[in-house]
Amino acid sequence: MRSDPQRLSFEIEARDGSARAGVIHTAHGPIETPAFIPLATKGSVRALESAEVGELGYQLILGNTYHLFVSPGPERIAAAGGLHGFMNWTQAIITDSGGFQVFSLAHGGVADEVKGSGRSGGHGSEVEISEEGARFRSPRDGAELFISPEVSMSVQAQLGSDIALVFDECTPFHADRDYTARSTERTHRWLERCLAWHGEHGPERQAVFGIVQGGTHEDLRRESAQAISAAGVDGIAIGGTLGRDKEEMASVLAMTAPLLPVEAPKHLLGIGEVDDLLGGIALGLDVFDCAVPTRLARHGVALAPSPETRWRLNMRKGGWAGNREPLVEGCPCPACRCHDRDYISYLSRAEELTAVRLIVLHNLTYMRELTTGARQAIKNGTFASYRAAVLAGSPPWAAGEGGRDTP
């Protein structure tokens, strides 16, 4: 691990068991943790203007290196003043490496991601993975593209993010142990190349996070955690396949989290379901990114305190006509303050874009309330009761003494 307060620093303000509340300081301001990170995949948080995301209370968003590399291209974004200038976002940005999306093209793990990138025609998704990097066809026009550790770091440098993730190979669930071991070793070699490039060419105030791989194998996770922790990184992310179901994922995270340096900020990649996020916070993880809140909104699904339906309220189903209740009682979001279930259901079933926008506002508010409530509960020493209340069906703002303070 390295420490340079001009680039990034992390302070832990309170602990409750392994859970902790802290602040990550970046070149574009602080990030209070635990924190959920909305995805700005293509330079936009779905349906919202940048200022609105900040008004919801978010201090950090995630840009997708793969998608922005494919289109509009890093040179165009750099000419606009980086991703901050391009999308007029004044707070912190983290960018992924592109590894997850590139290797999903090869392994078929995220079909929705690929379809969402603008694929047209009959272009294949074959990916040639070598020690040098990954060569693949653009899903937009079939042009050959290449991403290596150096290319990934160069793109992220042009994007100007506050935190860049190293280029890694994200192995699929069906990969056997031998392949996972070879892939993890390659990821460690790529880590060295990423850090070497960044040390010579990277922005001085851009921090770099390493990624722990190793699949579901405890020995590989341990080796990877040791390798990443010993490297010159500013923080650590947990990536790769985490198992076939929630139970196995929880087991993998429980064995991985204690292997990481206590002083490091820890990012769990791609996980953001309500119960999983609370489980990650309990293990001492700090930041979480996931497409779930915005993806659900696209399909007319709102987050709600309903564990039996996986915290989902489907507004495209029938039965909401005449229902004057808000999506969730007590929710401070604009959708719940100003509209009822009848209206939002009507808009969603009519495929009106306003429905997507309203549900995105609601879902991101729900996730913000969830993490700010957890943060306050950790400071109060009541995180266990807060977590239990939310898992039992209480909304975050009413989760007993563990919730955030109310005026």
The pLDDT tens digits of the residues spanning 96-112 come to: 998 888 777 766 543 33
Residue 102 confidence (pLDDT)? 78
Distance from C-alpha of 271 to C-alpha of 249, rounded to nearest angstrom: 10
Which CATH entry fits the domain spanning 8-33+64-290: 3.20.20.80, 3.20.20.105, 3.90.1200.10, 3.30.70.100? 3.20.20.105
Are 383 and 299 within 8 A, CB to CB?
no
pLDDT at 403 over 60: no
User: Using alpha carbons only, what angle is made at residue 44 by residues 152 and 155, rounded to the nearest 5 degrees?
Assistant: 15
Determine how β-strand 92-95 pairs with β-strand 127-129.
unpaired
Distance from C-alpha of 5 to C-alpha of 25, rounded to nearest angstrom: 8
Residue 346 confidence (pLDDT)? 98
Residue 400 confidence (pLDDT)? 60
SS3 3: coil
The pLDDT tens digits of the residues spanning 16-73 come to: 999 999 999 999 999 999 999 999 999 999 999 999 999 999 999 999 999 999 999 9
Percentage of the chain lying above the pLDDT 70 cut: 93
Among the listed residues 16, 234, 276, 289, the single catalytic one is: 289
Q: Is there a catalytic annotation at residue 289?
A: yes
SS3 99: helix
Task: Give the residue-averaged pLDDT of 172-181.
Answer: 87
E strand map for 139-270: 144-147, 163-165, 207-212, 235-238, 266-268
Distance from C-alpha of 298 to C-alpha of 380, rounded to nearest angstrom: 36
Distance from C-alpha of 221 to C-alpha of 207, rounded to nearest angstrom: 23
Q: Is there a catalytic annotation at residue 96?
A: yes
The token pair at 200 is 């010579």
Residue 208 confidence (pLDDT)? 98
Distance from C-alpha of 232 to C-alpha of 299, rounded to nearest angstrom: 42
Residue 115 confidence (pLDDT)? 35
Core vs surface per residue 20-58: b (16+ CB within 10 A) or e: bbbbbbbbbebbbbbbbbbbbbbbbbbbbebebbeebeb
Any residues with CB less than 8 A from the CB of 71 and at least 6 apart, and which?
A: 42, 118, 140
Sketch the domain layout of the chain as residue ranges: 8-33+64-290, 292-407
pTM of the model: 0.93
Are 186 and 203 within 8 A, CB to CB?
no
DSSP per-residue letters across 51-94: HHHHHTT--EEEE-HHHHHHTT-HHHHHHTTHHHHHHT--SEEE
User: Using alpha carbons only, what angle is made at residue 332 by residues 327 and 337, rounded to the nearest 5 degrees?
Assistant: 60
Residue 108 confidence (pLDDT)? 56
Query: Containing H/E element for 294?
Result: helix 292-298
The edge-to-edge listing of strands for the beta sheet with 134-137 is: 127-129, 134-137, 144-147
Are 175 and 213 within 8 A, CB to CB?
no
SS3 275: helix
Matching residue, tokens 């508010």:
365
Percentage of the chain lying above the pLDDT 90 cut: 82
Any residues with CB less than 8 A from the CB of 85 and at least 6 apart, and which?
A: 160
DSSP label at residue 4:
B
Among the listed residues 96, 162, 276, 286, the single catalytic one is: 96
Residue 401 confidence (pLDDT)? 54
Confidence at 402, pLDDT banded by 50, 70, 90: very low
Query: Containing H/E element for 285?
Result: none
Query: Containing H/E element for 262?
Result: none
The pLDDT tens digits of the residues spanning 110-152 come to: 333 323 333 333 334 578 889 999 898 887 788 899 999 999 9
Residue 117 confidence (pLDDT)? 38
Are 101 and 108 within 8 A, CB to CB?
no
Distance from C-alpha of 322 to C-alpha of 342, rounded to nearest angstrom: 6
CA nearest neighbour of 375 among 252, 278, 295, 308: 278
Sign of CA dihedral 241, 243, 246, 247: negative
The pLDDT tens digits of the residues spanning 218-254 come to: 999 999 999 999 999 999 999 988 888 999 999 999 9
Task: Give the residue-averaged pLDDT of 282-309.
Answer: 97
